[in-house]
Amino acid sequence: MKIQLSDHFTFGKLLRFSMPSIIMMIFTSIYGVVDGIFVSNYAGKTPFAAINLIMPYIMVLGTVGFMIGTGGTALVSKTLGMGDKKQANEIFTMLTVACVIGGVVLTALSLVFLRPAARLLGAEGEILENCVLYGMIVLPASTAYILQYAFQSFCVTAEKANLSLVMTVISGCCNILLDWLFVAVFRWGLAGAAVATSISQIIGAVIPLIYFARPNKSLLRFCKFRFNGKALWRTCTNGSSELMSNLSMSLVGMLYNLQLIHYAGEDGIAAYGVIMYVNLFFLAIFIGFVIGAAPLIGYNHGADNREELKNLFRKSLWIIGVTALIMTGLAIFLAKPLAAIFVSYDKALMDMTVRGFIIYSLSFLLCGFNIFGSSMFTALNNGLISAAISFMRTLVCQIAAVLILPAFWGLDGIWFSIVAAELVALILTVICFAAFRKRHHYA
């Protein structure tokens, strides 16, 4: 039976509606991890460290897709909830065009500043050249990268979450297959991994573009539109929390790398890279759930269905709490075998990675509530509070922690930084939940 945005949601129905987004994000993280596995095992530790050093710079571009996807989803789903399907489709089309224009401009700028940025991040010698090589191949596909992230949210709003899942699975399988072919068989090394990633991103963007350009049975399709500056502004301001979250992650990732170079050298960067790859897999569950839940919250907000808002809020917190406990236990239990997939060839690096990941895993107890809190306020079109939670969680708290804690605990202080940041952010999230419950009627 088809699940609609206007339905009443039980635990089972909420999980079923969110499951395609969860699987999609898990699969996205898996095929992202494949690059690291092939490069680490077939090209070596130095190219692997280079990917991890330049990746925060490359990921900055994806933040535009997150911003337009989440901010646009909130506006489009609210418009659908108000019963204006025509305007919803016009806004959706305009925002897709904005992704393309923004992607082209940002790609050109990022290519110009690639080498200086790599030097600023601490790259030199062989690592610097590897960073530039990887970036020069991957960055031209950035427009597709931005579109792919935006469509992940829009597909859910269109009640076609399975399309997003299919898009991700196809592009992911292509990435895995091409990684194997280019890196393991043809021995193209780092360049092979970059080409595989670029092709997979293009495939992931083209599939939904074709679908929404043709007549379809979803809630959304491309249509003629007039430029709506107010809608674009509301999308960008409301989605600024996701922009800030992902931009901050990239900036903080750069700072982590600088600290790790100081405290542990190249091995520290490699260990952090492994932790980030595995971390993406675990965070994908939380992110996938909120991608699925956000359009429901936005729709019921637009329809002023207060009882269903309360229902979604309560059930979401229960799901996140139980998932957090399970994920933390699994992360600690699987720390060694997961690290071995990447760096079993170097015992010292392996030991450093396992210890770092066990400490880092404690953050999974907390981060799901913060991710949901930021996403929920975005869906309620309260971008300011959403941005405040993201700003504290991903930038202010992490920067303070990664600069202060290593002075007392050395390398362990770097791994504990994320736990401390999530704890402070959780306090802010709970305060915001309490302060705005009457205004938005979710509790």
Please determine, for residue 429, whether its predicted confidence score (pLDDT) is greater than 90.
Answer: yes
When pLDDT is averaged across residues 59-68 and rounded to a whole number, the result is: 80
Residue 70 predicted with pLDDT over 90? no
Tens of pLDDT, residues 309-356:
999 999 999 999 999 999 999 999 999 998 988 888 888 889 999 999
Q: How confident is the model at residue 167 (pLDDT cuts 50, 70, 90)?
A: confident
What is the tens place of the pLDDT at every residue in 357-378?
Answer: 999 999 999 999 999 999 899 8
Average pLDDT, integer, range 29-41 = 78
Cα 357–Cα 358–Cα 360 angle in degrees, nearest 5: 60
Amino acid at 83: G
Q: What is the pLDDT of residue 230?
A: 92
- 396 in a structural domain: yes
Closest by Cα among 274, 206, 249 to 371: 249
More confident residue, 264 or 103: 103
pLDDT over threshold 70, residue 1 = no
In a domain, 3, yes or no: no
**Type of residue numbered 86:** K
Nearest to 34 by CA among 199, 174, 204: 174
* C-alpha to C-alpha distance for 148 and 203, rounded to whole angstroms: 9
- For the cut 80, the answer to whether the pLDDT of residue 248 exceeds it is no
Give domain status of residue 31, yes or no: yes
Q: Is residue 129 part of a domain?
A: yes
Higher-confidence residue of 53 and 335: namely 335
Q: What is the per-residue pLDDT for 242?
A: 65
Confidence grade of residue 32 (pLDDT, cut at 50, 70, 90): low
For the cut 80, the answer to whether the pLDDT of residue 244 exceeds it is no
Residues 72-85 have pLDDT tens digits of: 888 998 899 888 99
pLDDT of residue 332: 94
Q: Is the pLDDT of residue 57 over 80?
A: yes
The pLDDT assigned to 324 comes to 96
Q: Look over the chain and give the mean of its residue pLDDT values, rounded to a whole number.
A: 89
Please spell the DSSP secondary structure of 230-276, one letter per residue: HHHHHHHHHTHHHHHHHHHHHHHHHHHHHHHHHHHHHHHHHHHHHHH
Residue 38 located in a structural domain: yes
Count of domains forming the chain = 1
CA torsion sign for 196, 198, 204, 207 is negative
* 228 vs 88: CA distance, rounded Å: 12
The predicted structure's pLDDT at residue 238 = 80
How far is the C-alpha of 19 from the C-alpha of 72, rounded, in Å? Answer: 21
Maximum CA pair distance of the chain? 61
3-state helix, strand, coil in the chain (%, to 5): 85, 0, 15
Distance from C-alpha of 86 to C-alpha of 230, rounded to nearest angstrom: 17
Is residue 241 very low, low, confident or very high in pLDDT (cuts 50, 70, 90)? Answer: low
Span 135-164, average pLDDT: 90
Two structure tokens written together for 339: 């690290």
How does residue 138 score in pLDDT terms, banded at 50, 70 and 90?
very high
pLDDT for residue 157 is more than 90: no
Question: Looking at residue 363, what DSSP letter applies?
Answer: T
Return the amino acid letter for 383.
G
Residue 130 in this model has a pLDDT that exceeds 90: yes
Higher pLDDT, 323 or 47: 323
Residue 366: CA count within 13 A, CB half-sphere: 18
Residues 414-442 have a mean pLDDT of 93
Q: What is the 3-state secondary structure (H, E, C) of 136-200?
A: HHHHHHHHHHHHHHHHHHHHHHCCCHHHHHHHHHHHHHHHHHHHHHHHHHCCCHHHHHHHHHHHH
- Whether 214 is in a domain gets the answer yes
Asked whether the beta carbons of 357 and 376 are under 8 A apart, the reply is no
Range with lowest mean pLDDT among 29-33, 111-115, 173-177: 29-33
6 lies in some domain: no
Reported confidence tier of residue 384, pLDDT bands at 50, 70, 90: confident
State the pTM of this model: 0.75
More confident residue, 96 or 1: 96
User: What residue numbers bound the domain in which 254 lies?
Assistant: 11-440
Q: Is residue 5 part of a domain?
A: no
Q: What are phi and psi of 9, to 5 degrees?
A: -110, 120
